[in-house]
Amino acid sequence: MDDQELRRIKAELVRKRADAYAGITQIITAQYEKLQEVISSLDAMGEWMTGVEEPLGVMQAGAKELAMTSTDKHDAFEAKVHALERVRHQQKILHFFLDMERKVAWLENAAGIERPTGGGGKTPRRQDSHPSTGTAITDLAKLEHVVLLLALAIAAVQHGSKHFPFIAALDVRVRAVTAVCQTSARSLLMPLLRDHDHDRLAACARVYLHLNAWSQLVVLVVTAAVDPLLTRRTDVPLPTVLDELWTRLESGPVALAKILAPHVPRDQALILSTHILLRVLEYLSGTPSIFSPAVPSTFHRNYTATTTLLRRLVTDLGLAHVADAIPELAAFLRKWPVEVYFQMLARQAISGRGADHHLGDAAGHHAPLARRARPGRRAPVLQTCVPVGLAVPRGRGRAEWGRDDNDGDPGAHGSGRIARDGDGVGGNAVARDVPVGECSRGVSRDV
Is 345 strand, coil or helix? helix
Mean pLDDT of 418-445: 37
- In the prediction, which pLDDT does 274 show? 95
Mean pLDDT of 93-108: 83
Distances in Å between the Cα of 346 and the Cα atoms of 18, 274, 282, 415 are 154, 38, 32, 20
- Answer whether residue 360 shows pLDDT above 90: no
Identify whether the C-beta of residue 292 lies closer than 8 Å to the C-beta of residue 341.
Answer: no
- In the prediction, which pLDDT does 162 show? 73
pLDDT tens column, 170-197: 888 888 898 999 999 999 999 988 888 8
- In the prediction, which pLDDT does 447 show? 30
Mean pLDDT of 337-352: 81
Which amino acid, residue 46? Answer: G
Contacts of 253 (CB under 8 A, 6+ apart): 221, 222, 225, 226, 229, 276
- Which range, of 30-34, 57-61, 289-293, 392-396, averages the lowest pLDDT? 392-396
Q: How far apart are CA 391 and CA 38, in angstroms?
A: 95
pLDDT tens column, 233-266: 888 888 999 999 999 999 999 999 999 999 999 9
Distances in Å between the Cα of 149 and the Cα atoms of 108, 154, 345 are 12, 9, 66
- 28-48 in b/e burial notation, b at 16+ Cβ within 10 A? eeeeeeeeeeeeeeeeeeeee
- Answer whether residue 27 shows pLDDT above 70: yes
Which amino acid, residue 77? Answer: F
Residue boundaries of the structural domains of the chain = 81-114+130-210, 213-336+379-441
- In the prediction, which pLDDT does 111 show? 84
The pTM of the full predicted model, rounded to 2 decimals, is 0.61
Between 159 and 86, whose confidence is greater?
Answer: 86
- In the prediction, which pLDDT does 131 show? 55
Contacts of 331 (CB under 8 A, 6+ apart): 381, 383, 416
- Answer whether residue 430 shows pLDDT above 60: no
- Answer whether residue 219 shows pLDDT above 60: yes
